[in-house]
Structure 1
């Protein structure tokens, strides 16, 4: 329920802080006092778009904050999905900055307007003339019937099944489209794959082949240089190893004359060992290298094949060719097995279809079973609201298609007069009749599902006398299971409230300001008397007001 509302710097409101209780709360005030401003401010915390023109002082930001007690609303999953901190008393704040930007917060966490509006719809139902038009919409009519039929669990199961059906349906269509396109390309893809599989594709292969090609292509030069190196190492007179042998012998004689000579001798010994090892490896190279024209041609062919494939597929790296080969392999495999996949997906779709039809039939049976009782309750309640001849013709027609809420078409027809033809609500019901029908429907819904706080905005416009009393009784009865607000001009309705607030304007030399106050018992008598007889309070008006309250 709405526990507290704070509005600052909005329209004619400078600063307003007001707390609310459970039960039936009525709000009254003269025309133009600012009741619509109060609703406008409340609508901002429910996710409506902000307007910079609503700032009272254009240089200050507007802040609207509302506290809601939500322990009974089963909203923990909503908060979890939205990544919000859940609190039994949740605070929603909306700020409109002088720059025109707006910000929204739920329990001090910034949120988007989409998240805010979704939460707001589950906290307060603001019933205005615009919302009355929802009564003429098929979705709302189904909502009424399904609430009455206790179809909630079945609809959840149906919608989950429908989601799986739509997903499988799309997957099947994608497979069929893939098959149609892939069959045309299968031969070409197979050719490309075979070509790539025949190539020596591995990471670093081009650098490896290019190095091998350079060696084979320059074998004579390599042999000549290796021979020259071997001669420089092994010449008996001036060969590197001969000279190093002499140097090693000379310094071995000095090793015993001090650590510095011993250290130098060891370094010469290490250099000799390294040079001797190089000489051995050089000789191995000489023995292993031979001219091989056939291998040169083979390596050249592999390189040319790889160069051509890179150019053909627009690849700059071998890794790209490997990926292209893998992708082609997947396509060829999928095309070869797509018939099998289509058969399996078709079978799955048939099973989902059967399950959906079964669930839809159960929903239809429950709907049909309650229509007579729903019709009776609607007509009985409307009779007490001055519409004794009101009659409904409600029926279901089965369809072959899966709709978001089943496999039914709903005909929801109405007539207010005996002997008149039934017609669509939006065509045959007046605005006043729609308001009374909506009030009756909301009162029925309140018995079958946990509705949020509801605020009726002058739903009693155009009625008076006993009908207004009965409308007030219905709202009072609803307040036994939910928090109910009624913005009203009728003293008969205002007298039935558990709590009575008055919206009023005060004028100063500089500006007009809207405010709101909770009335005491004595103040309620005066307010009702003024609603009955005008500003000039008469004894009869005061007596009538006391009678209404009693």
Structure 2
């Protein structure tokens, strides 16, 4: 699980670069400003860091970054769930144009920067030269302790959010209680007014229809009576001649068959006329002027109109308006239930406190272990007798991370009183403490590639050699990439690359060259003595490289170099020679 290859096009001052990476410990060296950190910047971009147009090489339309990794098995499920192809290798690509817009791909499929960042957390762990600054922040110290102790705080954060939401609801209810009460009283009065009417849906139309009938009752009754007389009058009524005509045709049906159908029609008319007469008689029997009912209808319709005008609604809207007010009142009744909200807030607070106490207990157990581990690393970095302590105190205020305030304390030598990291005066001590922490915490997590960006700044001599040995040792189980200015560190590398920049066609470009044999010796000599190489610095460089290949005890005792080199160093030299084709142009 390591970085295998990186390809850059028109990135900052890199015109073109195609570089294969090997396992073990690799260093990048070069003059200040040559572009050593450009490689790390490119890696961070292809792993989802914020992009802007400044990374595009001047005069070019876009920068293109590709990185190829061994695909760890634990990412297969995530790739499948996210819709990306599962392959043996993981290919990431990001393109940033001259306007700062970016596009990204994972195994050939479009991806988001968030998805790239998710992969970055699994693939690479970067330690920068100013990492010590984050150690002065309580949140960073707490995160480091939690990571080291394997402490999960997701549940704690969820409980904190639940408590805060309930607390805010209670505070809002208390602050708005007076307003809510006034609103509640207003709604109660309005509901009581409409309840006097108790309007039903569609009642308005029914009342109007009934009122129309009653207000015209006399006219309707007169019309019905007149119609009945026209039907029943023996001399001039419609029923008598119609009946006679029907009988006449019936009597002649035996002579003229066509009369039968006509007689049937007339018979139907006689029957319908008979039905109409009975219906009119029934209507007249039940019809009533009922002035009292009409007065009641007038009064009720007037109340409907009065309430509709008061609340600026149409009469038809009153039933829905009443129902809406009742729902609002129900909601307000729940909102002003301060005691209920207070009970919920207290219960949520108790749940949070219980989880916070559990997390505090876990941190209390993890703190001494982290202190011992970093203290042990400090001893090998020229800080004999130095101590690192993790101080746990009760925080002034609760937070999503709990109720602990965590401070890192450091004593640089025997007899010194541990002080907060921010108060350690020596820059060299800060660098070594940061490196000790980086070495200790680099064993955590699943990232297969560790990157150290000038974390050895401020150290030198025997301590620098120790740093080199530590990084070489880390390279046994992880891929380690380091940007360094120290020849003592570079000497321990399995692969050595030199970064240079040079002018070309009114611009400056950066290139990366693999170094082996004499070229590596010359770069080591330059790092030791500057651009003007002497036989003394060359001899010193060769000696340093030879000593780096010895086991630690032999090197410390000044033993002679054995006739054969270690297998990994030999393999590294062969690989570097094969990689000479990847030089950036």
Q: Common fold, TM-score beyond 0.5?
A: yes
Q: Give SS of 1:438's match.
A: helix
**Cα displacement (A) at 1:330:** 1.0
Q: Which residue in 2 is equivalent to 1:379?
A: 375
Q: Deviations over 1:467-490 (max 9, x none)?
A: 222112222333344432111223
Q: Which residue in 2 is equivalent to 1:212?
A: 210
Q: Give SS of 1:447's match.
A: coil
**Cα displacement (A) at 1:51:** 2.5
Q: Which residue in 2 is equivalent to 1:294?
A: 292
CA distance in 1, matches of 2:469, 2:263: 117
Q: Which residue in 1 is equivalent to 2:431?
A: 435
Maintained 8 Å contact 1:85/1:107: yes
Q: Do the aligned partners of residues 342 and 224 (structure 1) sit closer, same or farther apart at CA in structure 2, a change above 3 Å counting?
A: same
CA distance in 2, matches of 1:504, 1:57: 18
Q: Give SS of 1:201's match.
A: coil
**Cα displacement (A) at 1:324:** 1.9
Q: Do the aligned partners of residues 350 and 436 (structure 1) sit closer, same or farther apart at CA in structure 2, a change above 3 Å counting?
A: closer
Q: Give SS of 2:200's match.
A: coil
**RMSD, aligned α-carbons:** 4.3
Q: Which residue in 2 is equivalent to 1:483?
A: 479
Maintained 8 Å contact 1:13/1:514: yes
Q: Do the aligned partners of residues 532 and 173 (structure 1) sit closer, same or farther apart at CA in structure 2, a change above 3 Å counting?
A: same
Q: Which residue in 1 is equivalent to 2:499?
A: 503
Q: Deviations over 1:119-161 (max 9, x none)?
A: 544543333334431122112222333344x2514x3443344
Write the mapping of 1:27-426 to structure 2, written as runs, cut at 5 A. Answer: 27-56=28-57, 58=59, 60-69=61-70, 71=72, 85=84, 87=86, 89-106=89-106, 113=113, 116-117=116-117, 120-148=120-148, 150-153=149-152, 155-174=153-172, 176-177=174-175, 181-227=179-225, 230=228, 281=279, 284-316=282-314, 317-318=317-318, 320-331=320-331, 333-334=333-334, 338=337, 341-342=340-341, 344-345=343-344, 348-349=347-348, 351-352=350-351, 355-356=354-355, 358-367=357-366, 370-371=367-368, 373-388=369-384, 390-399=386-395, 401-416=397-412, 422-426=418-422
CA distance in 2, matches of 1:312, 1:398: 61
Maintained 8 Å contact 1:26/1:494: yes
Q: Give SS of 2:126's match.
A: strand
Q: Which residue in 1 is equivalent to 2:509?
A: 513
Q: Deviations over 1:472-510 (max 9, x none)?
A: 222233334443211122333223233333434454445
Maintained 8 Å contact 1:190/1:332: no
**Cα displacement (A) at 1:271:** 7.8
Q: Give SS of 2:160's match.
A: helix
CA distance in 2, matches of 1:22, 1:233: 115
**Cα displacement (A) at 1:437:** 1.4
Q: Do the aligned partners of residues 345 and 29 (structure 1) sit closer, same or farther apart at CA in structure 2, a change above 3 Å counting?
A: same
Which moved further from structure 2: 242-251 or 109-118?
242-251
Task: Give ranges in structure 1 of 5+ residues lacking alignment.
Answer: none
CA distance in 2, matches of 1:258, 1:7: 108
Q: Do the aligned partners of residues 204 and 419 (structure 1) sit closer, same or farther apart at CA in structure 2, a change above 3 Å counting?
A: same
Matched, 1:464 2:463: no
Q: Give SS of 1:136's match.
A: coil
CA distance in 2, matches of 1:291, 1:104: 85
CA distance in 2, matches of 1:254, 1:502: 127
Which moved further from structure 2: 516-525 or 449-458?
516-525
Q: Deviations over 1:350-397 (max 9, x none)?
A: 642552354245235324xx42x5434333322322233544454222
CA distance in 1, matches of 2:269, 2:473: 107
CA distance in 1, matches of 2:310, 2:122: 60
Maintained 8 Å contact 2:374/2:436: yes
Maintained 8 Å contact 2:488/2:544: no
TM-score normalized with structure 2 length: 0.76
Maintained 8 Å contact 1:251/1:265: yes
TM-score normalized with structure 1 length: 0.80
**Cα displacement (A) at 1:192:** 3.0
CA distance in 1, matches of 2:477, 2:453: 19
Q: Larger radius of gyration, structure 1 or 2?
A: 2
Q: Do the aligned partners of residues 341 and 315 (structure 1) sit closer, same or farther apart at CA in structure 2, a change above 3 Å counting?
A: farther
**Cα displacement (A) at 1:321:** 0.7
Maintained 8 Å contact 2:156/2:355: yes
**Cα displacement (A) at 1:441:** 0.8
CA distance in 1, matches of 2:30, 2:391: 43
**Cα displacement (A) at 1:78:** 10
**Cα displacement (A) at 1:319:** 5.7
Q: Do the aligned partners of residues 9 and 199 (structure 1) sit closer, same or farther apart at CA in structure 2, a change above 3 Å counting?
A: farther
Q: Give SS of 1:386's match.
A: coil
CA distance in 2, matches of 1:114, 1:129: 25
CA distance in 1, matches of 2:507, 2:474: 40
Q: Give SS of 1:65's match.
A: strand
Maintained 8 Å contact 2:492/2:545: no
